A and B are shown apart, each in its own frame.
Chain A
Amino acid sequence: QVQLRQSGPGLVRPSQTLSLTCAISGDSVSTNSATWNWIRQSPSRGFEWLGRTYFRSKWYNEFAVSVKSRITVNPDTSKNQFSLQLNSVTPEDAAVYYCARNNNWSFDVWGQGTLVTVSS
């Protein structure tokens, strides 16, 4: 049974960096058959796909245009996890952040979600 466990702070100061980690159990971040994604949900913007990392003979990272200049997603094979960093946050970045596995073009396993507040 594949599980994703998120960790990271729920409060980020404006202009600072949001950092979250997603630990994987029951699968490998290096698998050739899935991608590892970050998605957020807010009342104002709904669900928004942010980006993904995946391995297909080499590592690939792809990001939504809306956050491309501010986002980093990194795999950590030694810990079997992947991370999200979002720079220069504003109140518009406040949301519930989810990590999720994509398999068969759908998000079939989700983390528990992290409510991120942006406030000084």
Chain B
Amino acid sequence: QSALTQPPSVSGSPGQSVTISCTGTSSDVGGYNRVSWYQQSPGTAPKVIIYEVTSRPSGVPDRFSGSRSGNTASLTFSGLQAEDEADYYCSSFSSSGSYVFGTGTKVTVL
């Protein structure tokens, strides 16, 4: 099972809009509405911020949004904030019945 492909890093200034991509295949990202996104700060467990491609858990700011086009899912920050600096990972259910994760993206707020 190959990992989903994410850019290693993205950066932006406070208030800027930033998007992270997550590319898989029709057997995972493109085949199911079961893509989720996680925020992880150093030394802590991941926290889900998007589930089922576009849904946000309660308590997650609405500046985070998810979308998908074909085999690529995206996480968008609409107005980057200093506290958004962290590592972000996508994940998808796959046709094998397992879950596959992305390679991770480090977000830096300039």
Interface of A is mostly: strand
Chain B nearest CB, measured from A59 CB (Å): 16
| Stretch in A21-29, A42-50, A80-88 with 4+ CB within 8 Å of B | A42-50
Instruction: Please tell me if the beta carbons of A105 and B98 are within 8 angstroms of each other in the complex.
Output: no
Known contacts A47-B91, A107-B91, A110-B46; A64/B52 CB under 8 A: no
Interface assignment of B55: CB less than 8 Å from any CB of chain A? yes
Instruction: Please tell me if the beta carbons of B46 and A107 are within 8 angstroms of each other in the complex.
Output: yes
Instruction: Classify chain B: how many residues form its interface, as a range.
Output: 20 to 34
Interface assignment of A106: CB less than 8 Å from any CB of chain B? yes
Interface assignment of B64: CB less than 8 Å from any CB of chain A? no
Instruction: Please tell me if the beta carbons of B38 and A107 are within 8 angstroms of each other in the complex.
Output: yes
Determine the residue in chain A with the shortest Cβ distance to B96.
A65
Which B residues are CB-close (under 8 A) to A65?
A: 1, 96, 98
Q: Output the residue of A47, A66, A107 with the most chain B CB within 10 A.
A: A47
Known contacts A46-B103, A104-B52, A104-B55; A110/B97 CB under 8 A: no
**A binding-site residues for B, Cβ under 8 Å:** 37, 39, 46-49, 62, 64-66, 98, 102, 104-108, 110-113
**B binding-site residues for A, Cβ under 8 Å:** 1, 3, 32-34, 36, 38, 45-48, 51-52, 55, 57, 89, 91, 93, 96-104
